[in-house]
Structure 1
Amino acid sequence: MEPIPLPSHIHYELLLQMLERQTSFAVSQKPAVREQVHQLISTLRKAMAQQKQLEQTCERANLPIDYRWSVNNIAFDQPPSPDIVTGRREP
């Protein structure tokens, strides 16, 4: 069975650190924007928790996981992924 590709946890950590340390500070005097930043931080924390639940499910099912650092980590024998914006596959 092919490993299940999942984002490396560091992706969540980097985004959260930036939002908590830099973005929150930059918008501290703007309540409406600050609230949106806090919602975004909460959403990322939930996404990370959901991914951890998925990982536990995969472990229980003996499904291997491949933590990815980039979308460019594809094997040469796989068809190219569709472009996120257009939905078209690159040649």
Structure 2
Amino acid sequence: MDRIKLPSLVHYELILQVLERQTMMSADRDPIVRERVQQLIVTLRKALSQHKLLEVTCEHQQMEIEHVWSLNAVIGKQEVTTRE
């Protein structure tokens, strides 16, 4: 069976830290921007919670999880890059 590929949880943590430590400082000057940033933080925390729940579900179903750190993967000697 193929592994379920999921982003590493550290990706959520990085984004949350940037928003909470840096973006929120700048957003404090404008109540509308501050509210939007707070909404984004809440949404990301919910996504992180759902991600963890998915991992628990996969473990219960005995599905193997592979944490993906990047969209770049090395297959043999050929590098595959996904571009937007």
- Pick the TM interval, shorter chain: 0.7 to 0.9
Q: Structure 1 residues 11, 63: CA separation in 2 closer, same or farther (over 3 Å shift)?
A: same
Q: Please say if residues 58 and 64 of structure 2, whose CA atoms lie closer than 8 Å, have aligned partners that are also in contact.
A: yes
Instruction: Considering fraction of residues, name the structure with more helix.
Output: 2
Aligned residues: 81
Report sequence identity in percent.
49
In structure 1, the residue matched to 2:26 is: 26
Cα distance per residue 1:32-85 (max 9 Å; x no partner): 000000000000000000000100000000000000001223757xxx89865x
**Mapping for residues 1-91 of structure 1, pairs under 5 Å:** 1-73=1-73, 75=75, 84=84
Unaligned runs of 5+ in 2: none
Q: Given the superposition, is the C-alpha separation of residues 82 and 71 from structure 1 closer, same or farther in structure 2, using an over 3 Å criterion?
A: closer
Q: Higher strand fraction: Structure 1 or Structure 2?
A: 2
Question: What is the rounded CA distance, in whole Å, between the counterparts of 2:54 and 2:81 in structure 1?
Answer: 22
Structure 1: which 5+ residue stretches go unaligned? Answer: 85-91
Q: TM-score, normalised by structure 2?
A: 0.86
Classify the secondary structure of the residue corresponding to 1:21. Answer: helix
Runs of 4+ in 1 over 4 A off after TM superposition: 80-84
| Distance (Å, rounded) in 1 between the aligned partners of 2:46 and 2:34 | 18
Q: AA paired with 2:32?
A: A
2:11 and 2:73 map into 1 onto residues whose CA distance is: 15
